[in-house]
Copies of this chain bind each other. A is one copy, B any other.
């Protein structure tokens, strides 16, 4: 049974991030750089980005956490990513892998498997990506998943056990598992699917949150808290946009607003318990 994350726990990690303003180094795809940086800034974290492998080690060493997102992968980025994760591993920095379109695209799948050697702290993906990374047959459609998160939970547990990591598989319900224990978050809103890069930005937020964790239990709670904060902000933004008969453009703007104003009261009111 997956255990529901409590709003108290989510609020505790929200407070840690707010106090630390973690510098989060993102090596991410070129569709979502601006959006990811703005999500991190709105959520009281601090983004840093780079393109060139020569900067990977320095930045990874000063950052509090690292995000590797393999969307729109190219050879230059692959090199920079490998250097950054090696640096993170050496210095014990937490890092998050977002395996965008793994399974569908061999270049990305191969790199993801290589990156697993540097022991990601968390892998955050949609059901298709997690199924594919776990070696199971999956269908994907570009960046979208053709599967439900429930369907992918067994694969997520298997992957977490094999790779000795925490796997976050997001969907209508988000599951966070280390293979033995599983947390879940039941918030969110379908409008999150109508804005590009919401999953990518969540992975960056997971990295920021995980930088405040001190052991595997806390990594799971921190990752789940990032999912909860993002999902609750999504609900707040959707409520405002729908109240005003607006659509995905306004929703994306309100999502940033909500990440900035969200607090313990909002988490308590909206998280199922």
A residues contacting B by CB (< 8 A) are: 23, 25, 29-35, 37-38, 41-42, 46-52, 54-55, 58-59, 62-63, 71-77, 101, 104-108, 141-144, 193-197, 245-250, 252-261
Also in contact, A58 and B260, with CB within 8 A (given A49-B31, A141-B46, A252-B249): no
Name A246's contact: one of B195, B252, B257 (CB within 8 Å).
B257
Name A194's contact: one of B41, B75, B76 (CB within 8 Å).
B41
- CA–CA, A50 and B32, complex, Å: 12
B143 and A48 contacting across the interface, CB-CB below 8 Å: yes
Q: How many copies does the complex hold?
A: 3
Q: Which residues on B sit within 8 Å (CB–CB) of A260?
A: 194, 247-249
A250 and B253 contacting across the interface, CB-CB below 8 Å: yes
Q: Which residues on B sit within 8 Å (CB–CB) of A38?
A: 195-196, 248-249, 252
Q: Which residues on B sit within 8 Å (CB–CB) of A50?
A: 72, 105
Q: Which residues on B sit within 8 Å (CB–CB) of A41?
A: 193-196, 248
Closest-by-CB residue of B relative to A73 is B52
Minimum Cβ distance to chain B for residue A248 (Å): 5
Q: Which residues on B sit within 8 Å (CB–CB) of A195?
A: 38, 41
Minimum Cβ distance to chain B for residue A136 (Å): 19
A261 and B249 contacting across the interface, CB-CB below 8 Å: no
B23 and A54 contacting across the interface, CB-CB below 8 Å: no
Q: Which residues on B sit within 8 Å (CB–CB) of A254?
A: 246, 249-250
- CA–CA, A46 and B105, complex, Å: 17
Q: Which residues on B sit within 8 Å (CB–CB) of A141?
A: 23, 46, 62
A248 and B42 contacting across the interface, CB-CB below 8 Å: yes
Interface centre among A30, A46, A249, by most chain B C-beta atoms within 10 angstroms, is: A249
